[in-house]
Amino acid sequence: MIPSTVWAVALAEVRSARRQVRTWGFGALAVGVSFLFFVGSGAQHAQDGFVSPVSDFPAPRFIMSTVGMPLLLVFLFGVIFLAFDIRARDRAERMVEVLDCRPFSNVELLLGRVLGIVATACVPALVLIGLVQAFGTIGGALGLPTEPVQYASLATYLFVDALPMFLAWTAIVVLLAVVVRNRLLVGAAALGLLVAWTLWSQSQSLYLSHLVGPTFFGNLVSDLVPSIADPATVAHRLALVVLAVGALFAAAGFHPRLDSGTRSARFGVSAAFVAVGAAAMAGLFIHARDAIETRDRWLAVHEAAATAVAADIEHMAGTVRIDPGRRLAIDVVMRLAPTPGAGGELAMSFNPGLEVEEVAIDGEATNATHRDGLLKVAVPTGGGSYELALRASGIPDPDFAYLDSAFDFARDSSGRRNVTLNLGRDASIYDADYVALTPGVHWLPSPGANIGRDDPGGIGRDYYTVDLTVEAPAGWLVAGPGRR
């Protein structure tokens, strides 16, 4: 494969697309509809703000996490009309003989044309971004209900969501165009496929949203921890590119133009790329499902341990060392008073992301197990207060919070999750630039199972005095209840 040849074909495709009326029509439609959607979302957010602090539409600065999907679908719809007649157009323009006698391969020809179409589709996306930012800046200065979109979310939309989807979708439409050859059937099939995929992706649970939808819906934009994409999303987008390459080689094999390559070899390469991409997708689905099943296992374990609290914390003292994004280390001593009828084993909720290094009772090491977020310790049965020392380190798992929540937004597919998501998705944050250690994830141990904490008839909250020394990197601001 010669890069200069691919580049020349891509430039020729861009020039050809630029001369077509439908290209300008698609660009105007995509930019116009998307811009009006952005303006309308900002106005709706401002209107909802007079009624409730929570809206289905986030502030314009964070709007891409919500409107990114419909905006991208508009562009994918336009790609259909840029690529559905990729072979028929050559015949209509009487370019078939010219192309067929050129020395480049079908792979180079189709890759160049795909890249040209993707580049053409990216131009309206860039125009939209510039228009949105200009309107947000000027409109905000004039007092309109708008503001510029956060740059990290725009980068995510363009490079993580739009570009891989453009590549994959264009390759699929080109494959349909080469195989079917009838422009009407190609357009109908591609449009039907896009509609079916959109409806199917919208019916899936939130925890699968970054694997089945065109955008990473649910990856809320944040000023606290701005990010482009998590590793799972990056792996998914790379798998999309691999599948696009597989579709491209399949299209080269089906292409009627003769070249020096063999169809069987190209079909073999296509099958290999599709197999790798499909395997990567399957692995990502399994990984996402494992996270949900892990939470289910935690809930089952804690429901089985939902007995009377075996002790009451009276005082906690010690040291908390924060190494942002890397490691949280706790070294605490708790004074506990056993409750009436308590046995010789104390069960405590303690985040499974932290590894217990040492447990001692009144200065002497004791037997302890820590599995599925349940710390079980052999304790004295004499009836008096005792001290429990604990050393542990790791990174708290944010999924350990609210195991018995009445509404599990990660599994929801009805749309009720939208407002909940605007309040935040993670129960704790342990990033290199920001750390939020909330009580719900039990990064400090608390007696009893991690269920019924907010139920007046359940375990309830355990109030006690605290004397903790917090060590953080120089220059960090540390804030707690009533102190900073």
Structure tokens belonging to residue 408 = 């599990």
The pLDDT assigned to 281 comes to 94
pTM over 0.95: no
The pLDDT assigned to 369 comes to 93
| Residue range 45-58: mean pLDDT, rounded | 74
Element housing 210 (H / E): helix 209-212
The pLDDT assigned to 228 comes to 75
Give the C-alpha distances (Å, rounded to integers) separating 348 from 166, 306, 316, 337. Answer: 50, 11, 14, 14
The pLDDT assigned to 472 comes to 94
Q: Is pLDDT above 60 for 416?
A: no
| Residue range 158-181: mean pLDDT, rounded | 90
Q: What is the DSSP string of 428-471?
A: -EE-SS-EE--GGGTSS-EEB-SS-TT-TTSS-----EEEEEEE
Mind listing the pLDDT tens digit for each residue in 203-240? 888 788 778 876 655 456 677 777 777 788 889 999 99
Q: Is pLDDT above 80 for 66?
A: no
Taking alpha carbons only, the member of 92, 108, 101 closest to residue 12 is: 108
What CATH number was assigned to the domain covering residues 307-471? 2.60.40
Tokens 């009772």 label which residue? Answer: 361
- What distance in Å separates the CA atoms of residue 229 and residue 236, rounded to the nearest whole number? 11
According to DSSP, residue 151 is labeled H
Name the residue ranges covered by the structural domains of the chain: 3-295, 307-471
pLDDT band at 36, cuts 50/70/90? confident
The pLDDT assigned to 300 comes to 93
Instruction: Count CA atoms within 13 Å of residue 94 on its CB side.
Output: 0
Q: For residues 13 and 113, is the Cβ–Cβ distance under 8 A?
A: yes
Burial class (CB in 10 A: 0-12, 13-18, 19+), 18: exposed
Largest CA distance in the chain: 97
The pLDDT assigned to 154 comes to 83
The pLDDT assigned to 342 comes to 64
Q: Which residues pair with 378 in a beta bridge?
A: 345
Indicate the range of 59-63, 289-293, 322-326, 422-426 predicted with least confidence: 422-426
Indicate the range of 222-236, 305-319, 390-404, 430-444 predicted with least confidence: 222-236
